[in-house]
Chains A and B, each alone.
Chain A
């Protein structure tokens, strides 16, 4: 639909996810996340990852493109389970009992 240039990013790719940004990230947050990611994936070592990071940053740095990215971000027909995708908490150790209960349950 959109003529927006997305470079290496596929239509379903969320640039915020690539830069690990919160939805309400500011310009400074976006730049800081970009620099951090480039440090982790420098172009000489991982050129593909770097290109994705750069394209994600290009999409987010301009307020108009960022807004367009937001408009296109919702997935009305995606699985409902994706609503809780980021709700996994810390993994608690519970001892062998509850695990064995699952094994015993026919």
Chain B
């Protein structure tokens, strides 16, 4: 007896620990030796635990066999085993399982166990609602009755919300998931899909009603994580038609493509095509085309699995072209060739008229794709592509005659689709809209060859003769290359169209000025008086300081005629008109420089500038030059004086003039002066800060690449916020230009090609603050630690290719450094590579550049 107690205790301990197998073995031993009712009950209990463990392990068949054996051998424990039998659907009746539930004294844990089984396993409410072992007033039976009626109602016809209040079923009820399911089905039939989804979310995942969630999700057109089982497919087909089963097969194919196993993909392709053929035959071709395009990028072997091939019509090429253009920038030419195939088929199929707006839009789209490369890059890449491009004829061997014919059509301008100029010309021929011409000209201006932009402007002019914009371009283009007569001709045409246009008005002043300077340089002094008179005759000639320029021309005439009296007279007149002898000196000296008689003019410039505010005077002269289209240079001998004045920052000079002063200093290569002018401008704050940051960036020495880039990015960001898109574009272009220029070594060191042109407000403010405070141009000194500008995120990556590209280029900027500069540059570079110093002053951890992929120096 004592031994039995030990065994019983041990069996219970094993069961508590979830060790059902040794518990069964020990209970068998105990029952063999004791053979009492208690030992038999203990053995059945151990068997029950073992069967549950098998079920949990997914060994249902083994569990069923064991249950059958135990039920046969220990028949008086049939009731106790009913719950397990219900779980296993092993033939145990629901009544046997529920019988204990009718007992009001049933222990709580046993009741909870039965409720769990009901929640998880009850797949039909009818038997529970009609169970004879529970009284008709039993809450569970009542709830099942109500739910059974509601379930029948919602699956049979429309039901009002009132009929679904189901207040009898609480959240704790084992039938609560049924309540959510019934409401989900009602919402589904009402068309309230969101409510349906919400109710489905409330169906407990481990409950029996949850088995309907995947089918309902598919019917709601939501992707299903698992394939539907046959009964679920039948249900969805009956309710929403074949589309749901098609959807299931397409989802399976999508998953197969993700999985990437060829055999599986092929199997699902066949299934999906068959399903679509049965229920949506009109979609078969489209599906096959989508599969084909998917196969082109993932696994071409899948193409062979497409039953009866696929049509390579407009839709196919449309898909392929769009996909290719989204792939990589390297495939821009291929993408355009595919769009051309699409165009041929779209026209042949009658989707678009050959000269319809859709085709114009397509030409523009192709041009935009090509615009990702600069005109020069395109010119380099195009010949190689044209040489190796075989066309797409071989793709049509299995196609019907109509498709073969459409695909084989050759355009008279072979490979026109690789030339933005031809694309724009075609688009404009179909749709001569000023906006398209503007886009064309905008692209053409990127070319270094002025003929390209002039051709665009000429086409615009011919198509829209009343639009003055192409004339202004042609005029500026001619002016830039010194063809002043031609430029004046275009100007006259522009004036005939719109004389009051401010650009036209400015152009007249500018061109007359340029003409006068040319006459001077050609020593045609006799024409100078005529030029001065023509300038004075302009309605706008009296504005601001402009009257000083005709006087300056007459001064030049006096100098060239060696008429000292006349020269001094007009020199004084210029000084009076500009209210500054210094400004007059700058104006006259620049005019003499431009016209090539500086040495002759030296004695006629005047030198008494005592008491004058030089910075202000020079800025005024620069403003006059800018107004007339002349780029004045600041006299170098005044630098110290101007710098002193600028650093005092008590100037009367406006921000516009400071900008001009900085630009003039940059033109003359005098970084220190430009740097100081920017500092004075930044100190004034206001909307010109972006412009000053841009100039400050250009004023910085080459080795300050990080700081320069930061200035450009901050300028671009500020300009964007002020909606000054021209300035923002200029900043971005400068950033790109600097990244392309300079030495190979510097390009590598600065690891250009920044990833982002944006900056947070805080970062912009920080940079503005830093640049305002900076009073002196950075100079190289190995004794002085270099400022740490390397924490910016714009320079975090360096590409391996940077090291390799243009290796043979001359390293001019590097060579131009003196020894001291070189030392400082290398010091800065070493600091970047080694990383910031640790607090104790020792160099930080070295960042080794990876030999593969992008790497970081920080």
- For residue A96, CB closer than 8 A to chain B, the reply is yes
B residues less than 8 Å from A87 (CB atoms): 241, 243, 246, 280, 283
B361 touches A71 (CB 8 A): yes
A residues less than 8 Å from B209 (CB atoms): 103
- For residue B239, CB closer than 8 A to chain A, the reply is yes
Closest to B233 in A: A102
Give bound CA distance, A74 to B188, whole Å: 30
A80 touches B250 (CB 8 A): yes
B152 touches A96 (CB 8 A): yes
> Which of B132-140, B320-328, B456-464 touches A?
B320-328
Q: Which of A71, A74, A88, A100 contacts B124 (CB 8 A)?
A: A100
A84 touches B250 (CB 8 A): yes
B residues less than 8 Å from A96 (CB atoms): 151-152, 155-156
A76 touches B322 (CB 8 A): yes
Q: Which of B211, B246, B250 contacts A102 (CB 8 A)?
A: B211
Give bound CA distance, A63 to B427, whole Å: 14
Most buried by B among A71, A83, A93, A101: A71
Residues A103 and B211 in contact in the complex (CB < 8 Å), given A2-B365, A64-B360, A76-B320: yes
Q: How far is the CB of B96 from chain A (nearest CB, A)?
A: 19
A102 touches B235 (CB 8 A): yes
Interface residues of B in 663-721 (CB under 8 A from A): none
Q: How far is the CB of A17 from chain B (nearest CB, A)?
A: 14
Interface residues of B in 94-127 (CB under 8 A from A): 123-124
A residues less than 8 Å from B362 (CB atoms): 67, 71
Q: How far is the CB of B219 from chain A (nearest CB, A)?
A: 7
Q: How far is the CB of A12 from chain B (nearest CB, A)?
A: 12
| Binary contact readout B602-630 vs A (1 if CB under 8 angstroms, 0 otherwise) | 00000000000000000000000000000
A85 touches B221 (CB 8 A): yes
Q: How far is the CB of B240 from chain A (nearest CB, A)?
A: 5
Q: How far is the CB of B471 from chain A (nearest CB, A)?
A: 25
Q: Which of B191, B234, B291 contacts A101 (CB 8 A)?
A: B234
Q: Which of B156, B238, B290 contacts A83 (CB 8 A)?
A: B290
Q: How far is the CB of B279 from chain A (nearest CB, A)?
A: 8
Main secondary structure of the interface of B (DSSP, over half): helix
Give bound CA distance, A71 to B364, whole Å: 11
Q: How far is the CB of B417 from chain A (nearest CB, A)?
A: 14
A residues less than 8 Å from B360 (CB atoms): 64, 67
| Binary contact readout A64-106 vs B (1 if CB under 8 angstroms, 0 otherwise) | 1101101110111101110111011101111110111111111
- For residue B357, CB closer than 8 A to chain A, the reply is yes
B residues less than 8 Å from A106 (CB atoms): 89
Give bound CA distance, A105 to B227, whole Å: 14
B123 touches A103 (CB 8 A): yes
- For residue A10, CB closer than 8 A to chain B, the reply is no
A81 touches B239 (CB 8 A): no
| Binary contact readout A50-72 vs B (1 if CB under 8 angstroms, 0 otherwise) | 00000000000001110110111
A89 touches B323 (CB 8 A): no
A99 touches B240 (CB 8 A): no
A residues less than 8 Å from B254 (CB atoms): 79-81
Q: Which of A74, A84, A103 contacts B280 (CB 8 A)?
A: A84
Most buried by B among A64, A83, A94, A99: A99
A89 touches B212 (CB 8 A): no
A98 touches B357 (CB 8 A): no
- For residue B297, CB closer than 8 A to chain A, the reply is yes
Q: Which of B123, B247, B293, B358 contacts A81 (CB 8 A)?
A: B247
Can you name 15 A-B residue pairings with CB atoms under 8 Å? Answer: A64-B360, A64-B361, A65-B361, A67-B357, A76-B290, A79-B254, A80-B272, A80-B290, A87-B246, A87-B283, A88-B219, A93-B189, A102-B232, A103-B212, A104-B231
Given A102-B235, A105-B231: 8 more A-B contacts, CB < 8 Å: A71-B362, A74-B319, A85-B221, A87-B243, A93-B189, A100-B123, A101-B235, A102-B215
Residues of B within 8 A of A (CB): 89, 123-124, 151-152, 155-157, 185, 188-189, 191, 208-209, 211-212, 215, 219, 221, 223, 229-232, 234-235, 238-241, 243-244, 246-247, 250-251, 253-254, 272, 276, 280, 283, 286-287, 290-291, 293-294, 297, 315, 318-320, 322-323, 325-326, 352, 356-358, 360-362, 364-365, 368-369, 431, 433
Residues of A within 8 A of B (CB): 1-3, 63-65, 67-68, 70-72, 74-77, 79-81, 83-85, 87-89, 91-96, 98-106
